[in-house]
Structure formats: C-alpha cells, structure tokens
C-alpha cells in the first residue's frame, strides 16, 4: 500500500517552508509521495487575491525537479467552501495517508468541519511552527487515545516564513527572494501579483 503525505493550504504563495516540510515528511516517514493540496475556497481565511489557476502555476514552478512532490488539484474546482473532510472522503482508498499540519493548525484542529472523522482517514503528522507550541487539544487527545491512534511529530526545524508576511512584503516592494523559489518569484513579478 502506498504511503502518501497530504499538505493542504492556500499556498498563496507557495514558499520554501512548504517545500522543506514536504521534503522532511518524505524522508522521515519513508513516503512514496507528498501531495500539495491547494484549497479552493478556504472557509477559515479571507478571500484569496489570486486565482486557483495562478496558485496551481506557482506550485508547478515550485516543485519542478522535486522528486516525490506532486500537486493534487482536487479542491481547486470545488464549489463553495473547501473542507478537509470532503477532500479526504473523495480520495482513493488504496493508500495510507498522513495529513501534514503545523502546530498552529493543530491548536485549532477541533474547529475544523467533522474533525473527529478526519482521523478515520489520516494519521495526523505535526511540524513545529515557531510561534505556536506543540499542544494537542484535549478533545483530540481523548479521541486519539480512545481509538488507539497516535500523532506523529516530524523532526522539522521551524522556519520563520509565512505567506501572509510574503504578501505584505511584496505589497511594500520589499525583497522576498529568501522566502520563495526563484521561478515562483519571477512569476509573481511577471503578473504583478500581491501588489
């Protein structure tokens, strides 16, 4: 059975920490691949300023030459709000899935739509975010213990990069070349994104 990591997000834009996390998960969990799953319409975030097609293009540029990292566009064309549980229900059942998330997302995991059911489909795999300690919500901890499931923590060195900060820097015409792949930065400049 294939082992697949799933890294969801708005990827608005994709940055070097996303790629580092995917590479770390590939190695640490001996995965067959990591799928980057860009959200169509993330319900817990502000509306996105760039299109799904533009985010897919930036992802394609970012993973060019990255073995084992692919893009899954399952959420991009979905109508309405994008919920993780809907995505998981529609994935093929012939693989073992690992949902990769940061400690920031873990902290609010129990606010996700049908969060209890998510653990039926995936093994939760957590990476450190500098500004968020690793703290498993009590309800999630109780559910995992009840079902005899665990939570994997990745040996990931937290990187102080966020898409929000990158967008803000671009808006102020500051250099972001240390945060995004060169091909992605060229694309952002070419189409004047985030200005």
Is the pLDDT score of 44 beyond 60? Answer: no
pLDDT tens profile 48-104: 789 999 999 999 999 999 999 999 999 997 877 788 999 999 999 999 999 999 998
Domains of the chain (ranges, CATH numbers): 2-159 (3.40.50.620)
User: Which residues are CB-contacts of 13 (< 8 A; sequence separation ≥ 6)?
Assistant: 50, 55, 58, 163, 166, 167, 180, 184, 188, 193, 194
Is the pLDDT score of 43 beyond 90? Answer: no
Is the pLDDT score of 10 beyond 60? Answer: yes
State pTM to two decimals: 0.94
């Amino acid at each position: 059975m294939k082992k697949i990591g799933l890294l969801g997000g708005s990827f608005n834009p994709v940055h070097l920490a996303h790629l580092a996390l995917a590479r770390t998960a590939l190695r640490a969990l001996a995965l067959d691949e990591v799928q980057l799953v860009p959200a169509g319409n993330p319900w817990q975030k502000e509306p996105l300023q760039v299109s799904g097609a533009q985010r897919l293009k930036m992802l394609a540029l970012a993973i060019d030459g990255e073995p084992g990292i692919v893009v899954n566009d399952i959420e991009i064309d979905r109508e309405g709000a994008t919920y993780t549980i809907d995505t998981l229900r529609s994935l093929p059942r012939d693989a073992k899935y690992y949902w990769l998330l940061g400690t920031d997302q873990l902290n609010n995991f129990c606010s996700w739509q049908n969060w209890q059911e998510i653990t039926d489909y995936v093994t939760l795999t957590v990476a450190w975010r500098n500004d968020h300690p690793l703290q498993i919500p009590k309800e999630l901890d109780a559910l995992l213990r009840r079902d005899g499931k665990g939570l994997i923590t990745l040996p990931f060195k937290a990187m102080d990069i966020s898409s929000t900060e990158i967008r803000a820097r671009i808006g102020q015409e500051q250099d972001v070349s240390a945060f995004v792949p060169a091909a992605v930065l060229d694309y952002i400049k070419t189409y004047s994104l985030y200005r």
